[in-house]
Copies of this chain bind each other. A is one copy, B any other.
Amino acid sequence: MCQLLGMNCNTPTDIGFSFTGFRQRGGGTDHHEDGFGIAFFERGETGKIGLRQFHDNQPSHLSPVADLINQYPIKAMNVIAHIRRATIGEKNNLSNIHPFVREVWGEQWAFAHNGQMTDSFIRRTERLHDNGNAEHYSPVGTTDSELAFCYLLNRLKATFKSRPSDEALFAFLTAQCRYLSANGLFNCLISNGNWQLAYAGSLLFYLTRKAPFGEAHLSDGEMSVNFGDVTTSKDKVTILVTIPLTTNEKWQQIAVDECVVFQDGDVVFKDTPSKKTYLSIEDGIALARSVGASV
């Protein structure tokens, strides 16, 4: 339910420009006004990744917490943000606001979801929890999204006793996302601070900005940036979003049921269904509405 924004780059980058447009959709240019959250993975002096999160139950276009994010630029390697339009779970309750975070093998994993899991998935997965068969992670709030995240992580921990290689991990996560997508409408972003995984169940776009940098104009506000003025020639910054944020750049659509993983701004893993399907934005919105979700 709602909209996703992600960033993955090869140098600490301020997401301010993209966030300025995105937050307008939380009650300004669009109706996702039931709170927002953003997780920043920042690299310390020794290279160690730290996470901090900001959540607010105010609409992002008005939120003082969102104002802070624009006024106090945070340079991060990975960001996941989410604006919420409540369909399942108490509106405005902080425990229902994405991104959700869990520690996995000593890493913080952040997750945000856009879509809607089926009633039968929810019932089945809740039963696993009630029967004590989901021992590692349990949802704190009442969303289908956090339930799906916990399902995925419980499967992960049940399958691997210790952290597998990235290659094995990405293949496993793709398979789990395919399962979740077969049991609902499931677009998601997941990051451990080093990589960011994007799975498209319906709508998800990305754009990699690198030299030569040009100018970008926001679709949701009167703002332009010439990235040539604020970057070096080595910078590579990938932005992921449910619906493109700028009007004059070429966004790449992720195919339905395609899984793409980014690291240092580059695609490092991709698993594409043999038959590629792309939904138009209108069809993606209609699909979300038909299952009771929102885009």
**A residues whose Cβ falls under 8 Å from a Cβ of B:** 42, 44-46, 48-57, 64-65, 68, 71-72, 90, 92-97, 101-103, 105-108, 129, 132, 135-142, 161-162
Contact = CB atoms under 8 A, between A and B. Distances in A.
Given A72-B64, A102-B103, A49 B138 contact: no
B94 A52 contact: yes
Contact of A94 (B51, B92, B136, B162): B51
A132 B161 contact: yes
A56 B142 CA distance: 29
A140 B103 contact: yes
Given A48-B95, A50-B140, A135-B161, 4 more contacts: A44-B90, A52-B56, A64-B71, A132-B162
A194 to B, nearest CB: 13
A150 B114 CA distance: 32
Q: How many copies does the complex hold?
A: 2
Contacts of A106: 129, 138-140
22 contacts: A42-B94, A44-B93, A44-B95, A45-B93, A46-B90, A46-B93, A48-B90, A48-B95, A48-B141, A48-B142, A50-B57, A51-B94, A51-B140, A52-B53, A52-B54, A52-B56, A64-B72, A95-B108, A103-B140, A105-B138, A108-B140, A136-B136
A-B interface, 7 closest residue pairs, ranked by CB to CB distance from nearest: A50-B94, A44-B93, A106-B138, A50-B95, A52-B55, A64-B72, A68-B68
Taking each of A50, A137, A142, A161, which has the highest tally of chain B beta carbons within 10 Å of its own beta carbon? Answer: A50
Contact of A64 (B68, B96, B139, B162): B68
A42 B55 CA distance: 12
Contact of A44 (B46, B94, B101, B107): B94
